Structure 1
Amino acid sequence: MDSIALGDVEITRVVEMPARGSARDYFFPDVPMEHWETHENWLAPTFLDPAADEVRTMMQTWLVRSRGRTILIDTGIGNGRERPAMPAFHHLNTHYLDELASAGVRPQDVDTVICTHVHGDHVGWNTRLTDDGEWRPTFPNARYVIPRADFDYWNPANGHRTRSGPRMANVFEDSVAPVHRAGLTELWEGDHHDIDDLLRIEPAPGHTPGSCVVWLRSGSDRAVFAGDLLHSPLQIAEPDDCPGFDEDEPRARDSRRRVLGEAADRGALLFPAHFPGPGAAEVRRVGDRFAVKEWAAWRGGREQARA
C-alpha cells in the first residue's frame, strides 16, 4: 500500500474505488474548455482523458498514525447504500475494510474519525449494516469528529434547501445519525479544533458550509488534508474553477486560494480526497495562481513527477 512518513507521522492511502472517469461537463459544468486544453499536457492521462472527455478521480481515504493514535480522515462511500440519485454510489460492495486490514488496522483499532465534510463519499463507512438490519458504527471505539455546521445543514429535520438536493438522499440518516445516537460524535465549531499537538482542523467552507481541512505539523514536515477543496489538479492552476458540487462557489474559491497559498508558503504536502495517480503534491505560487512543485514520493518507489 502507498505510505509516506512525515516527521513522526505515517500516512497510508486506503483506496475504496480505483481511478475512474466521469463526464467533464457533468463534473465541471461551468469551467471553460480552454482551461482543460491549456493544461492538457500535464493533466492527461492520469487526471484527464481527452479522448473520452472525462475527468479521472479516485475514491480514497487517509489513514494517519500519530502519537499512538489511529486516525481516519474521511470514510468513503460505504457498502449497501441506497443512493438512487448517485448511481456510482448505489448498492456498492467494495473491499474497503479488507484494504484497511492490509494496512494492519481493524475497525476496533481506529480511535478517531475526522469527517472533512458531510457528503456521501466522505462519511459512508462511518457505519455498516448489521445482521439485525440496523446501521451501526463501523469503528466502535472511535470518536467521530464532524463540523457542526455540516451536521446542522445536512440534517433533514432542519429543512435546508441545498444545491446537492436528491444526491444527498439517505446520507445523514444512514451514515451520520447512527453514530450520533451512539454518543460517538464530537461536533466542533470555531476557528480550529485540535486532534493532538500535531493535527489541527480548520474551517474551509464553500464546498459545504462546514467543509474543513486538517493541518499536520511534525518536525520540519507539513501537510494539509484538503478534503474536497479540490477535485482535479486543474484547480491548482485555475483556483477559481469550481465543480458542480460546491454549495457556495464564492466561498469555495476563497477557501481554495487561501489554503493553496498557505500550503505553498509552508511547503506543505497537499492531500486532496480524489486525486488519482500520485494523489498528493507540493504546490508553489505562480503569480496569483499555483502550480505543482512536486508530486508525492510514496514509500515503495513511486517516482516523483513535475508539472
Structure 2
Amino acid sequence: MRRFRIGNAIITKISELDLDGVEPSFLYPGADPASVLSVASSLSAGSYDRTTRTLRQSIHTWLVQIEGRTILIDTATGNDKERPTIPPLDRLNEPYLDRLAEAGVLPDAVDAVLMTHIHADHVGWNTRLHDGLWVPVFPNAQHYFSGIEADYGAAIDAGNEMAASALRDAADLGPMTHPPTAGVYKDSVAPIAAAGLANRIVADRSEVIPGFSYHALPGHSIDHAAILLESGGEQALFWGDVFHHPVQVTHPEWNSVFCEFPAAAVRSRRQALELAAHSGATVFTTHFAESSAGHVRRESDGSYRWNFTKGERL
C-alpha cells in the first residue's frame, strides 16, 4: 500500500488485483508485438517480465483524504460480478474492503465516489450482493459519473440498439470497434441511482465537488474523462483508462483491446500527455503496475517519457 501527498490531500492506492502475464499481442492487437516488447524492455521488472516477455498491470482504487472528506476515485471490479467475457474479472472474491479498512476507512465513512467512466473494472465496488440484490457499498457517499456513460450503459443492458446508436452518433467519435461489457450498468450503477446516491455530471472542467473537476478525454469509452484535483498549489491528475501501460506513453497511437472508439482514443491520449506534461501534475493511473503514479515529461524531440514516483510505503 502506497501513499502520496498532493497539497492538502493524502492519496492512497487500494489494490484489488495484480495482473501479470499480459500478452502484448492481446493488450495492443493493432501494434507490432516486437515493437511493444522493444519499448517494454526498457522498463523495470515491475512493469515487464523479461522471463515470460509479458506485461504487468494492476487494478486498484485511489483513496483521497482531504480537509475532512473521504473520496474514492473509481471502485475497481467488485466481488461476485458476472463477467464471463472477461475471465480474469469473473465472479471475483477479493479482500478489497479489508484493504480499504487497513488504510483506516470503513464504507460508511466514504463521502463521495468519482468515476472516470462506466466500465466493469472501475465501478464494481459501488455495489455488493446482499440477499440476492445489489446494494450500495458506500451508503453515505454521493456517486458522480457521466450522464452520457450512464445512458449508454443503460441502453446496452436493455438491448436498445436504437438508443445506443443515437448516443454514438451524437458523440461523433468515429467507428466503434469494441462494445462495452453488458451488465455493468445494471449491477453497479442502477442500484446507486435507485438509492438516490447518483449525480450525473458533464466533463466541462468546472468543479464537481470542491477541488475536483472532470476533463473530457473520450474514446476509450463514449464519455471517458480524467479527474483533476487541485490543492495547495499542486495538482493530481487521475487518468482513468486513457493509458493502460507505460509503453503507450512512448507510443500513444497504440490502442488497447478495450478502447471502444480507436481514433478518438488516440486523440485523447495525446491531449492527456500534453495536459500532464504542461501542468506538471502527479498522474495517478488505474492500470500501471508498481506505484501506479508518476510524472510525464516532454522531450526535446516532442516525444513523452513516463517516470514513476514511489510515494510512501505504508
CA contact (8 A) 2:41 2:48 kept: no
Cα shift readout 1:246-282 (whole Å, capped 9, x = no counterpart): 1111111111111111111111111110111121111
What is the CA distance between 1:193 and its match in structure 2?
A: 4.3
What SS does the aligned partner of 2:278 have?
helix
In structure 2, do the counterparts of structure 1 residues 19 and 99 end up closer, same or farther at CA, with 3 Å as the change threshold? Answer: same
Q: Which residue of the partner structure matches residue 47 of structure 1?
A: 47
Provide the aligned length of Structure 1 versus Structure 2.
298
CA contact (8 A) 2:2 2:291 kept: no
| Cα distance in 2, alignment partners of residues 248 and 144 from structure 1 | 25
Q: Does 1:200 align with 2:213?
A: yes
What is the CA distance between 1:201 and its match in structure 2?
A: 1.4
| Cα distance in 1, alignment partners of residues 178 and 85 from structure 2 | 10
What is the CA distance between 1:34 and its match in structure 2?
A: 4.0
What SS does the aligned partner of 1:99 have?
helix
CA contact (8 A) 1:46 1:56 kept: yes
TM-score, with length taken from structure 1: 0.92
Q: Which residue of the partner structure matches residue 239 of structure 2?
A: 226
What SS does the aligned partner of 1:169 have?
coil
CA contact (8 A) 1:223 1:263 kept: no
Name which of 294, 303, 309 aligns with 1:289: 303
The runs of 5 or more residues in structure 1 that have no matched partner are: 302-307
CA contact (8 A) 2:241 2:286 kept: yes
What is the CA distance between 1:139 and its match in structure 2?
A: 0.4
| Cα distance in 1, alignment partners of residues 40 and 187 from structure 2 | 39
Cα shift readout 1:15-74 (whole Å, capped 9, x = no counterpart): 011242222211111112343243233225222234424221111110001222111000
CA contact (8 A) 1:47 1:57 kept: yes
Percent identity over the alignment is: 37
Cα shift readout 1:229-254 (whole Å, capped 9, x = no counterpart): 10010111111111011111111111
| Cα distance in 2, alignment partners of residues 42 and 113 from structure 1 | 36
| Cα distance in 2, alignment partners of residues 189 and 20 from structure 1 | 35
CA contact (8 A) 2:112 2:142 kept: yes
Of 192-201 and 70-79, deviating more is: 192-201
Of 48-57 and 217-226, deviating more is: 48-57
Q: Which residue of the partner structure matches residue 304 of structure 1?
A: none
CA contact (8 A) 2:203 2:214 kept: no
Q: Which residue of the partner structure matches residue 128 of structure 1?
A: 128
| Cα distance in 2, alignment partners of residues 295 and 44 from structure 1 | 10
Structure 1 letter corresponding to 2:112: T
| Cα distance in 1, alignment partners of residues 253 and 123 from structure 2 | 26
Q: Does 1:185 align with 2:184?
A: no
| Cα distance in 1, alignment partners of residues 188 and 237 from structure 2 | 25
Q: Which residue of the partner structure matches residue 278 of structure 1?
A: 291
For residues 1-307 of structure 1, what are the structure 2 equivalents within 5 Å? 1-130=1-130, 132-155=131-154, 156-157=157-158, 158-159=160-161, 160=164, 163-165=177-179, 168-286=181-299, 287-292=301-306, 294-300=307-313
Structure 1 letter corresponding to 2:290: G
| Cα distance in 1, alignment partners of residues 34 and 137 from structure 2 | 44
| Cα distance in 1, alignment partners of residues 293 and 96 from structure 2 | 20
Structure 2 letter corresponding to 1:59: I
| Cα distance in 1, alignment partners of residues 33 and 63 from structure 2 | 35
What is the CA distance between 1:163 and its match in structure 2?
A: 4.2
| Cα distance in 2, alignment partners of residues 139 and 21 from structure 1 | 33
TM-score, with length taken from structure 2: 0.90
| Cα distance in 1, alignment partners of residues 97 and 108 from structure 2 | 11
In structure 2, do the counterparts of structure 1 residues 281 and 69 end up closer, same or farther at CA, with 3 Å as the change threshold? Answer: same
What is the CA distance between 1:195 and its match in structure 2?
A: 3.4
Q: Which residue of the partner structure matches residue 169 of structure 2?
A: none
What SS does the aligned partner of 1:43 have?
coil
